[in-house]
Structure 1
């Protein structure tokens, strides 16, 4: 009888702990790493020849929105295409439990706008045969999983559940009694395996309030008072485990107490009250404004010096936005853009040409849109990328600025005249974070985590789920700003530690055999493409990869040469570990 199920033979091991790479074999038994050393091939049922290849722990992606996609895609691409073996859902306080059955449609509507998840795939894929968070966890555990799942307790549906409905929760703040009930549900969720709680607090009226509800109003979590979140932090402290994922911005709010430093201080307060790590979202990078991330790095260092455990999740993928006004929603900080981009397709088409709205958008543009430019790049730099109307072909490949100059138009009119003529037109935004030297600074901090893939969300616009491949190729192989050992430490071990995932994240005997095996020299991200692979024949934008030889999840090969094997060895991680 074979001693091992699988042996990975003659690979170069980068184990995720910063230990220098070394050559050895890995023996896998019952989904775990049984032995690392020199092993005999005939001691295994299966041998994977890893000569000349890197053998490393699978990536752990802590910021995804696969809450809907998990119901139709066991592998959660694009994450699994890029070496990720574990993801976390429930981020930003969004999700589908706890939930009154009458609010199922309303919950889907919220995510169809806020996270730009197409509505029809959700409708045909989820039966909502659950209500409480523990019931939902049981449901996830019964699904076929090609990747490991950890789950945060999402604040928005929990508040709606306690207050009776989404409509009631949008009409007022929770009472003290209702707040206590949410804290009780959090405790029950932690007992059922939640790894903490997540929330978005993009303060209404701020210049970063770019993610709104389906009707353009703030999300439930955006409207909750700071005292509510302090109570949730204290509730987590009572459990003594887990983490907090928090996306907060009050920048641009008409209040002298608001702003970036206030947001820093509040994250620190949550860490202090909980005594648990806070995952601060997000360290977004724009090469033109390095002072922003540098201020965040200084704050992170000071908070941790004071014993307040805060980690920043950094946006590390270089991913341009591809926007079409059929679907775009991330200019929602502007009442004018919000009006233009809500409604049916025909209503949007009419509003794109509306003289009153055009005048308002021109005035806003001329006054400056600093926060929006920081996040998405300047509108004048957007390129007319994909056209479906042959009469518009002359604009292909030109920037908004070029078109405006050639036709003597304002930038707003140059862009919207084309989109009003054909709303399907795709505009490609600039990559705002292409200076690798900025990431040399960011990844030198002991408190920064790579990622913010937003996997499963904004799937018609962006593909930041490529971040792990981008880090290994761009930052390590091509630019040499960090070692391979450091990259895998941050992609797996540090992320696992910060999120309280205890049974994986490095290649050590006794841990889960979540392993990625790849050829570093051949590793690359493939071009962006549109695929119709969602339920109801809906489409999304993806970027695949090359160079990954095998991906193992709990010892089972899920991908070989970038092709899915059909194996479903993924597990629900309750409390940060498989049962």
Structure 2
């Protein structure tokens, strides 16, 4: 007898093949039947026409710290994700000698906006080497499976000490140390190596660049060639110029970006291994993404395996009363900042307090602290380019009428007045979304082209990172709710196409041959989805991190069941408490 039978579902098997209707049977964690009428089972799930898909495979997260103290692994767990890859962008927590732990925390705080106080309290530091870190994770259980890339920055610091931080070139001996670290990481089951070259990745009060940002090309070749000795692994990299022009980074010209792509090609040629890089549209050169895609296609046609990681929607940051906002450092706001958000919003609507907050200047950093200073300064500097969102509004392709500047002009208000009144409205749940990347043209037509491209994977959910700025782990179910169903301003995709992108395609990109498809004999990672009722809710603040830390969480509802390795981990959008997720070790 089978353990579970999902009855009467519309089965999208993750390959892109046409949907079929029938049953899915599971026994001992493995799929035993797809389609037709299955026999009796110990547990039956009545799909009754619901969509049945493989579990979603997330290929870009930053749970490196969270997995050491948490078992749930949200926000990914509640968004249908059954496998996630972490250790991205060259930052992580292994290897790390005791003297370097504070540095690794500071780098992660700066690059991925995970509060240092959360990491300092939460990470137990039961390891020093990368293999020891992997062994520690292997002793834990989770709501999903986790795979790990070995990050460059900790290896560079381990090999070079202070010289890594001051961006000196590695000596031959230091390169040999890094080679050995890579070999050890691959032997321990790493899925590859990650590195970061983007100048915007900075950390600390003195705004230093991440170790490895300016490493010589020979250093990247050494890492990649050592990885290739294992016969497996991908080399993931955040390219220089990935965010376009910015106040804290030199402008990357087309020539600079083409030189960056040449580096990817050289790494792939020298190592014979796939290179994955991040690609988004940005406003300072709205044609850059197409140029890079064209280079990537030509490289693949020449036999060099290069893949772009793309986002499926506008990408930036969310401003709201419970997160970061323009008024955090104003004296009259500080008087009410600890009230519940609905009471705070009501107090902000009082005419006298509104006038006071809008007329005040920010208190100094030594008075209000780093977070309030960061939030108020950052959002003030962004001005009126954000889009106004409410909890009732789920249009992820907003038109120009919702831009703060345009609303201010139409209403005869200042930008600050528009932002203030919007955030203070109703129960304080409204937001202003600054789409810093991937929305320069005011639409998602370019994303449609990227999603059609053979050399892209759907990525950049960033689960575990940018905790009070974004909540993009929901981007995988967004492929279904938006791209296969709700888009109004342009063409959509079929359900089969979008399911394949977030399951089988991502699994293949990381060599996961046991999952990502609904096939007899493969691992039983499955989602049962009310496709018509699938809904991404407005982000809210969750208070569930060590040291009282908070994070944005975007809840997705419409999952009738999520099954991991044959065990139901979620049922009707609720956690069953099962923790069958484990560390994945890549093997030859």
Same fold (TM over 0.5): yes
> Which among 231, 235, 242 is matched to residue 226 of structure 2?
235
Closer/same/farther in 2, CA of residues 254 and 41 from structure 1, 3 Å limit: closer
Q: TM-score, normalised by structure 2?
A: 0.80
Q: Does 1:170 align with 2:165?
A: yes
Q: Distance in 2 between matches of 1:66 and 1:143?
A: 14
Shift of 1:39: 4.4
Secondary structure in structure 2 of the residue aligned to 1:234: helix
Native 8 Å contact 2:54 2:518 kept in 1: yes
Once the two structures are superposed, the pairs formed by residues 124-203 of structure 1 within 5 Å of their partners are 124-163=121-160, 165=161, 167-171=162-166, 172-203=168-199
Question: In 1, distance between residues paired with 2:585 and 2:375?
Answer: 51
Aligned twin of 1:333: none
Q: Is the 8 A contact 1:318 1:470 kept in 2?
A: no
Is residue 399 from structure 1 mapped to residue 404 from structure 2 by the alignment?
A: yes
For residue 520 of structure 1, report the CA deviation from its aligned partner: 0.8
Matched, 1:270 2:292: no
Mapped to 2, the partners of 1:352 and 1:548 lie a distance apart of 37
Partner of 1:499: 510
Match of 1:21 among 19, 22, 28: 19
Check whether the contact 2:404–2:419 (CA below 8 A) recurs between aligned residues: no
Q: How many Å apart are 1:257 and its aligned residue?
A: 9.3
Does residue 535 (structure 1) correspond to residue 540 (structure 2)? The answer is no
Whether contact under 8 Å (1:531, 1:540) holds in the other structure is yes
Between the aligned partners of 1:500 and 1:270, the Cα distance in structure 2 is 19
Are the counterparts in 2 of residues 237 and 273 from structure 1 also a CA contact under 8 Å? no
Deviation at 1:134, TM superposition (A): 0.9
Local SS of the residue matching 1:295: helix
Structure 1 unaligned blocks of 5 or more: 204-208, 330-339, 366-377, 387-396
**What residue number does 1:524 align with?**
535
Q: Determine the structure 2 residue equivalent to 1:488.
A: 499
What is the aligned partner in structure 1 of residue 235 from structure 2? 244
Of 294, 307, 310 in structure 2, the residue corresponding to residue 298 of structure 1 is 294
* Partners of 1:551 and 1:560 within 8 A in 2: yes
Which residue of structure 2 aligns with residue 346 of structure 1?
368
Return the offset for 1:66: 0.9
Query: Offset of 1:320 from its aligned partner?
Result: 5.4
**Distance in 2 between residues matched to 1:24 and 1:222, nearest whole Å:** 51
SS of residue in 2 equivalent to 1:220: coil
User: SS state of the match for residue 575, structure 1?
Assistant: coil
Greater shift after overlay, 107-116 or 562-571?
A: 107-116
Matching residue of 2:65? 68
CA-atom RMSD, angstroms?
Answer: 3.6
The correspondence for 1:223, drawn from 214, 227, 232, is: 214
Question: SS state of the match for residue 22, structure 2?
Answer: strand
Give unpaired runs (5+ residues) of structure 2: 326-361, 391-401
Q: What SS does structure 2 have at the residue aligned with 1:114? A: helix
Is the 8 Å Cα contact of residues 4 and 42 (structure 2) preserved in structure 1?
yes
Contact 2:109 2:203 in 1 (8 A): no
Tell me if the contact between 1:324 and 1:425 (Cα under 8 Å) persists in the aligned partners.
Answer: yes
| Conserved? CA contact 2:322–2:541, under 8 Å | no
Instruction: Verify the 8 A CA contact 1:65 1:456 in the aligned structure 2.
Output: yes
Deviation of 1:436 after TM superposition, in Å, equals: 3.7
How many Å separate the matches in 2 of 1:254 and 1:285? 15
- Matches of 1:174 and 1:120, distance apart in 2: 32
State whether residues 110 and 214 of structure 1, in contact with CA within 8 Å, keep that contact through their aligned partners in structure 2. no
Distance 1:69 1:305, change over 3 A: same
Deviation at 1:131, TM superposition (A): 0.9
Cα distance in 2 for partners of 1:344, 1:61 equals 40
Report the Cα offset of residue 265 of structure 1: 1.5
Is the contact made by 2:201 and 2:209 (CA closer than 8 Å) also made in structure 1? no
* Aligned twin of 2:575: 564
Tell me the CA shift for residue 23 of structure 1.
Answer: 1.7
Q: 1:450 to 1:460 in 2, by over 3 A?
A: same
Instruction: Answer whether contact 2:14 2:53 (CA < 8 A) is retained.
Output: yes
- Mapping 1:376-525, distance limit 5 Å: 379-382=383-386, 399=404, 428-431=432-435, 433=439, 435-479=443-487, 481-525=492-536
TM-score, normalised to structure 1, is 0.81
Q: Which moved more, 1:183-192 or 1:20-29?
A: 20-29
Aligned to 2:566: 555
In 2, Cα distance between equivalents of 1:525 and 1:425? 15
| 1:249 Cα deviation after fit | 1.1
* CA offsets 1:485-523 (integer angstroms, 9 cap, x no match): 111211111111111222111111221111111011111
For the residues of structure 2 that align with 1:492 and 1:215, how far apart are their CA atoms? Answer: 41
* 1:558–1:214 distance in 2 versus 1, CA, 3 Å: farther
Aligned-pair CA distance for 1:152: 0.3
User: Does the C-alpha gap of structure 1 residues 440 and 430 become closer, same or farther in structure 2, counting only changes over 3 Å?
Assistant: same
- Name which of structure 1's ranges 478-487 and 504-513 shifts more when overlaid on structure 2: 478-487
Q: How far is 1:533 from its partner?
A: 1.7
SS of equivalent residue, structure 1 residue 380: coil
Q: Distance in 1 between matches of 2:52 and 2:560?
A: 10
Cα distance, 1:446 vs structure 2: 0.7
Runs of 4+ in 1 over 4 A off after TM superposition: 254-258, 286-290, 323-329, 340-345, 347-354, 383-386, 400-409, 411-416, 424-427
Distance in 2, matches of 1:408 and 1:39, equals 63
CA contact (8 A) 2:385 2:403 kept: no
